[in-house]
């Protein structure tokens, strides 16, 4: 394959390897006939929202799959994070990682809660429990940790520190639906866990999210808060907002949930193709899954180190020239985005592991829209880019001078 592709390395003047762009996060789609059948039922019932039967069914099937007592569906995961943290009394300051999608921090800041960014543990992309112990003060009211890439963070370590400090924990598990930690499904940890069913996620409902919890009192409060606080037709028992999921979104969620094993199998095949294709490539490290656990295999993430002869951004330029839309998740980090960079201009000095990882991480396309042979070819392009690193760097520098 190298002999075929090498002349086509577009960064060196060839033609792109793929005629159409391959994207990170292209939606997985279940059985379209089943979805359209559900949509017809929705229109026949004329019940479009407000706790319709499909939302109730989606919540029940989610809770059963996750092995939790309650799963409360919401309009999106950002609203779910806001409601979950507010329901637990988060205020003042909350410890969270900077290496996450900015919605994690925004869900706090939107409520005038200050996110205190903790560094990731060395060799991982997850919040270091030791950072929580170091950063916690009397102003700290909670922990918002993240299970990134479908891999669990140090749930035991965080639980120990949270218990010692008396701090409630909410997990942003937007990436981790269908995954487990030491045999227990993600969804059962902390006071609550939040999942995303956005179009780019493993299971999508177009837009959507949910809060999973084993606490009866918390589930009741969440249901009130997502529906303006209504406890009956004319009775409001709590302050709330409109965080409800519609029937159409639940129809999509149910349809995709029915295809979960197909999605996993496809993602697993792509993951193994990438792992085989990238094995032994200097300076390229694939972030691997622990296959003794349940995994969704939805994220193909590599770290690009100096040994490759390329920077991460140079490799990104090569892939983009080949119509591979790779992503620098979650560059440049929440602490370097507004308003946080204005609030904490020197935050990076306290986040060395995060800063380093954010300069190396690259997410590659996968999902059911990507064929196995395409995954193999992308891995080969990475290998070729590393082999041609000196020429790629010269070309990149010349291009920068021309600008």
CA atoms within 13 A on the CB side of 201: 28
* Mean pLDDT rounded to a whole number for the chain: 95
Name the token pair of 94.
């909350």
User: Within 226-369, where are the H helices?
Assistant: 247-257, 260-278, 312-321, 340-343, 352-358
Question: How does pLDDT run across 287-304, given as a tens digit for each residue?
Answer: 999 999 999 999 999 999
Share of the chain above pLDDT 70, in %: 96
Question: How does pLDDT run across 18-46, given as a tens digit for each residue?
Answer: 999 999 999 999 999 999 999 999 999 99
- In a 3-state reduction of DSSP, which class is residue 80? helix
What pLDDT does 1 receive? 39
Domains located in the chain, CATH noted: 2-18+260-326+365-402 (3.90.1150.10), 32-257 (3.40.640.10)
For the chain, the residue count is: 403
Does residue 400 register a pLDDT over 70?
no
Residue bearing tokens 């396309």: 365
Question: How does pLDDT run across 325-358, given as a tens digit for each residue?
Answer: 999 999 999 999 999 999 999 999 999 999 999 9
Share of the chain above pLDDT 90, in %: 91
Question: How does pLDDT run across 39-84, given as a tens digit for each residue?
Answer: 999 999 999 999 899 999 999 999 999 999 999 999 999 999 999 9
């Amino acid at each position: 394959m190298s002999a075929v592709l090498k002349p086509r390395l577009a960064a060196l003047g060839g033609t792109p390897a793929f005629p159409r762009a391959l994207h990170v996060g292209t939606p997985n789609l279940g059985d379209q006939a089943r979805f359209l059948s559900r949509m017809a039922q929705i229109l026949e019932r004329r019940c479009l929202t407000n706790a319709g039967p499909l939302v109730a069914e989606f919540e029940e099937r989610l809770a059963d799959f996750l092995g939790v007592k309650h799963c409360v569906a919401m309009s999106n995961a950002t609203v779910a994070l806001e409601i979950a943290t507010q329901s637990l009394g988060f205020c003042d300051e909350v410890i969270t990682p900077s290496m996450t999608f900015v919605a994690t921090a925004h869900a706090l800041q939107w409520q005038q809660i200050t996110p205190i960014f903790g560094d990731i543990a060395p060799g991982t992309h997850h919040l270091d429990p030791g950072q929580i112990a170091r950063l916690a003060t009397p102003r700290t009211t909670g922990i918002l940790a993240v299970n990134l890439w479908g891999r669990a963070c140090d749930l035991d370590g965080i639980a120990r520190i949270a218990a010692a400090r008396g701090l409630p924990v909410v997990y942003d598990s937007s990436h981790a639906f269908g995954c487990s930690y030491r045999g227990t499904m993600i969804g059962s940890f902390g006071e609550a866990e939040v999942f995303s069913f956005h179009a780019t996620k493993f299971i999508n409902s177009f837009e959507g999210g949910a809060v999973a919890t084993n606490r009866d009192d918390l589930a009741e409060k969440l249901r009130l808060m997502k529906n303006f606080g209504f406890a009956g037709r004319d009775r409001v028992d709590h302050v709330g907002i409109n965080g409800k999921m519609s029937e159409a979104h639940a129809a999509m969620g149910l349809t995709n949930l029915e295809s979960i094993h197909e999605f996993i199998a496809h993602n697993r095949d792509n993951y193994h193709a990438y792992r085989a294709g990238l094995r032994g490539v200097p300076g390229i490290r694939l972030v691997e899954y622990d296959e003794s656990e349940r995994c969704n295999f939805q994220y193909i993430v590599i770290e690009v180190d100096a040994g490759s002869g390329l920077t991460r951004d140079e490799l990104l330029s090569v892939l983009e020239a080949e119509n591979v839309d790779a992503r620098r998740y979650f560059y440049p980090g929440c602490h370097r985005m507004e308003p946080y960079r204005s609030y904490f201009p020197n935050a990076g000095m306290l986040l060395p592991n995060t800063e380093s990882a954010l300069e190396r991480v690259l997410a590659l396309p996968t999902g059911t829209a990507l064929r196995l042979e395409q995954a193999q070819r992308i891995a080969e392009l990475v290998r070729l880019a590393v082999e041609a690193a000196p020429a790629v760097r010269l070309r990149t520098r010349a291009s920068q001078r021309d600008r």
